[in-house]
Amino acid sequence: MTMATRIRTSTTTTIIIPDMSAPSSKLSNLNTDDQQKTLFLLQIANSSFPTGAFNHSYGFETWFSDGTISDGASFEVACRDWLIYCLGRSEGIAAARACEMARLADEDGLLTLDARIGALKLSREAREASAMTGQALLTAYLDVFEKPGMEGYARAVNSGEVAGHHSVVFGAICGSFDISATDTVLTFAQAAVSSLAGVASRLIPLGQVETQRIITNAWPLLQETAQRAVEADIDDMNVATPHLDVASMKHEKLKTRLCIS
């Protein structure tokens, strides 16, 4: 069996750092061909992968509650704006850059990037949700796949030096698996839209077919988002959704909440 170091963070998340010097029966000794990369992306983007992302509304629950979003059409408009002006300009770029940094073993760059994406999240709930899902993703990745290349970053998350934000962790583990930056951002963005649409389907509510049509309609925008994120630099990261930031801040004071953020 592989030996591992178990460290508890300041939250309830426990990140396990495998001892890569010990023999392993998992993927650490396998070449990552195209089929394995596809299977890897499908697995980590699946809602069953233990990150808790399915329970975050990114502040949208406030809009569902106050009637700002009341049907599929109003949700689709708000979702597209969020994808363009929030996720695409911040977390999408972070995922792309983290992917490249991990492929280059630039762990100092990952630390800087992690702190920077956290600074762009103005509401407490948004920061905590990003860190919670990111730490859970990192824990599951290290435990399930046991591939080398993430030890230094994981220790920085363990020690509290950085928060371990979801987009940075996602990009970094994809880079460690030799996934391209474009495929990384495309998968990250599609999973985020699917997760948010799932929340909308429960809270508005929406039918299953209508929910899937909204996700399908987002395909061209997802492709454009991925391309722009790959071409952007860290200094291009920004967020232009103050109305959503306010909604996120109001969320924690809602009388009834079904989502964490």
Q: Residue 229's pLDDT is what? A: 98
Q: Residue 205's pLDDT is what? A: 95
Give the CA diameter of the chain.
56
The full DSSP string for 212-244 is HHHHHHTHHHHHHHHHHHHH--GGG-----HHH
- The rounded distance, in Å, linking the Cα atoms of 25 and 15 is 20
pLDDT tens readout for residues 43-85: 999 989 999 887 888 989 999 999 999 999 999 999 999 999 9
Instruction: Round the average pLDDT of the chain to a whole number and report it.
Output: 88
pLDDT tens readout for residues 143-187: 998 777 788 999 999 999 999 999 999 999 999 999 999 999 999
- Out of 19-23, 118-122, 191-195, 210-214, least confident range: 19-23
pLDDT at 41 over 90: yes
Q: pLDDT higher for 27 or 54?
A: 54
| Domain 57-251 class in CATH | mainly alpha
Task: Tell me the average pLDDT across 116-122.
Answer: 95
CA distances from 16 to 7, 9, 159, 207 (A): 6, 11, 13, 39
Alpha helices for the chain (secondary structure H): 34-45, 60-66, 72-82, 91-103, 107-119, 124-144, 151-159, 166-176, 181-203, 208-217, 219-231, 242-251
- What's 8's DSSP letter? E
Query: In the chain, what are the domain boundaries?
Result: 57-251
